[in-house]
Amino acid sequence: MPTDTSKPMKLERYNSYIRKVHSTKLLNASSKFLFRVTLLIALVLILFFTINYPPLSDNTHSAPHHHHRHSFLSTSLFSGSSLVGGAAWEKQVRHSSTPRRVNGFSVLVTGAAGFIGSHCSLALKKRGDGVLGLDNFNDYYDPSLKRARQNLLSKHQIFIVEGDLNDGPLLTKLFDVVPFTHVLHLAAQAGVRYAMQNPQSYVKSNIAGFVNLLEVAKAVNPQPAIVWASSSSVYGLNTENPFSERDRTDRPASLYAATKKAGEEIAHTYNHIYGLSLTGLRFFTVYGPWGRPDMAYFFFTKDILQGKPIDIYRTQDQKAVARDFTYIDDVVKGCLGALDTAEKSTGSGGKKKGPAQLRVYNLGNTSPVPVGRLVSILEGLLNTKAKKHVITLPRNGDVPYTHANVTLAYKDFGYKPTTDLASGLRKFVKWYVNYFGIESKHSKETQHFDESS
């Protein structure tokens, strides 16, 4: 009888089958495991990129750390149509910054598409200084007005780089290309009442942005001298009259004022540690052609012309609210005076070499005018009665009055305001009706408008 060999063979086949099944199971299990791990990694990566690289349409009021990334992506690589850092861009930057007079300055003007920034840029350029603008063109008020100012500046060979103060690499790049002698730092989140709606934007521009600029300025060689915009609002609840630079400024009435006051303290620190030459200018309610639409004189004009009611504030004890309204041309002279008398910074490569200049000046008009009087002047100029709502000052950060003592600015650089409110508003209204193409008997009188007035 032949021996049955099929049994061990079957067993062997069975064993090998079992091994196969096991190894396939193992393979299946490990590939499932691998697949899950890959999926998890992919999800983590997607989450990471979504958080760190928000879409470029991220709005301007987003959280500061988001905005920093956004501004780096959007401004460090591209600015309008020209590639930042490219040869054509560098040529524009250099051309705009090169002075055309002997011993002329090279000035970086931040906020150059803004009201005071555009006027100062033009004035500097006209006397032969080199000017490079920086502006983020945010939408705090209608950016089309900022674009119109930019057009005006570009006709005078002034180039504005589109970028944010918080964009460190961009600022460093600008100083790499141009050894600026001066910075006129006017970029800020302005407006007293808006600080209650969007407090973070004040911290982002007026504190973080300022510190970022100072960080770059202290590290470059040569360090520039810096003249920057503080505000009359730092006097807050001060009751001395008129306001002098020696008065208390530790009782701000709005977050806007608090951020400007913080700027003055930060300036002290950078002057003390790094030898940066710093001059703060306390502007008093500056108005005029190409002004800011968020300011009362501007939107009163608009509302009066449109037949809309306007609110005129009175103090809690029913007294008139008054401001030391200051005409733009006077303020421009003050800014240029401050630049002309600014001493060089003393540090280099981030190290202080000796004491440096640290100054603060009032730039006001020295004659406060009640808001009711401002409205009567506008009514006369527009030949239209305003629909006036006199209301008690809401608790919105406003102070009852401002009044500048400008003795110090006069002594140090001959600052002397010469334009009263009626003459200044006349020039503003002339610009307004032309700019907005308002057809009235006023526009006929002003057909020969000089756009740079």
Ligand X SMILES: O=C(O)[C@H]1O[C@H](OP(=O)(O)OP(=O)(O)OC[C@H]2O[C@@H](n3ccc(=O)[nH]c3=O)[C@H](O)[C@@H]2O)[C@H](O)[C@@H](O)[C@H]1O
* CA 126 – CA 93 distance, rounded (Å): 18
Choosing from 140, 194, 235, 256, the catalytic residue is 256
Of the candidates 213, 201, 186, 185, the residue with the CA atom closest to the CA atom of residue 259: 201
Span interacting with ligand X, options 56-64, 130-138, 226-234, 430-438, rule CB under 6 A: 226-234
The binder of ligand X chosen from 295, 335, 404, 421 (CB under 6 A) = 295
* Pick 398 or 420: Cβ nearer ligand X: 398
Residue among 90, 247, 398, 412 that touches ligand X (CB under 6 A): 398
- Number of residues forming the site for ligand X (CB under 6 A): 18
Tell me how far CA of residue 318 lies from CA of 87, 165, 332, 403, 445, in angstroms.
61, 42, 35, 19, 39
- Least CB distance from residue 337 to ligand X, whole Å? 19
With tokens 């334009």, the residue in question is 419
CB closer to ligand X out of 150 and 233: 233
Phi, psi of 194 (to 5 degrees): -65, -20
Separation CA 96–CA 99 (nearest Å): 8
Whether 367 and 361 have beta carbons less than 8 Å apart is answered as: no
Q: HSE, CB side, 13 Å, CA atoms: give it for residue 250.
A: 2
Near ligand X by CB under 6 A, which window of 7-15, 29-37, 185-193, 412-420?
185-193
Binding ligand X (rule: CB under 6 A), the pick from 285, 345, 405, 434 is 285
Q: Is the peptide bond before 224 cis (omega within 30 degrees of 0)?
A: no
Return the residue of 74, 82, 232, 419 that touches ligand X, per CB under 6 A: 232
Give the range of 128-136, 141-149, 190-198, 338-346 binding ligand X by CB under 6 A: 190-198
Segment contacting ligand X by CB under 6 A, of 124-132, 139-147, 280-288, 334-342? 280-288
Q: How far is the CB of 375 from ligand X (least distance, A)?
A: 8
Q: What x/- string results for residues 300 through 319 when contact with ligand X is judged by CB under 6 A? A: -----------xxx------
Least separation in angstroms between residue 313's CB and ligand X is 4
Among 205, 233, 346, 446, binds ligand X (CB under 6 A): 233
256 classed as catalytic: yes
Q: Does 191 bind ligand X (CB under 6 A)?
A: yes
323 contributes a contact to ligand X by CB under 6 A = yes
Q: Which residue's beta carbon is nearest to the bound ligand X? A: 231
Q: Binding mask 370-389 vs ligand X (x if CB under 6 A, - otherwise)?
A: -x------------------
Burial of residue 426 (number of CB atoms within 10 Å: 0-12, 13-18, 19+): middle
The single-letter code of the amino acid at 330 is D
3-state secondary structure 155-207: HCCCEEEECCCCCHHHHHHHHHHCCCCEEEECCCCCCCHHHHCCHHHHHHHHH
Instruction: Output the smallest distance, CB 363 to ligand X, in A.
Output: 10
Nearer to ligand X, 107 or 296 (CB): 296
Nearest partner of 215 among 258, 182, 178, 167, judged by Cα:
167
Task: Pick the binder of ligand X from 140, 141, 202, 283 (CB under 6 A).
Answer: 283
What's the DSSP call for residue 233? G
The least CB distance from residue 215 to ligand X, in Å, is 25
Q: What is the largest CA-CA distance in the chain?
A: 133
Is 192 a residue that touches ligand X (CB under 6 A)? yes
Of residues 107, 132, 165, 190, which one binds ligand X by CB under 6 A? 190
Q: How far is the CB of 404 from ligand X (least distance, A)?
A: 9
Residue 383: phi, psi to the nearest 5? Answer: 55, 40
Tell the residue number behind the tokens 């520039």, with chain if given.
Answer: 224
- β partners of residue 390: 312
**Hey, which residues are catalytic here?**
256
Residues in contact with ligand X by CB under 6 A are 190-192, 231-233, 283-285, 295-296, 311-313, 321, 323, 371, 398
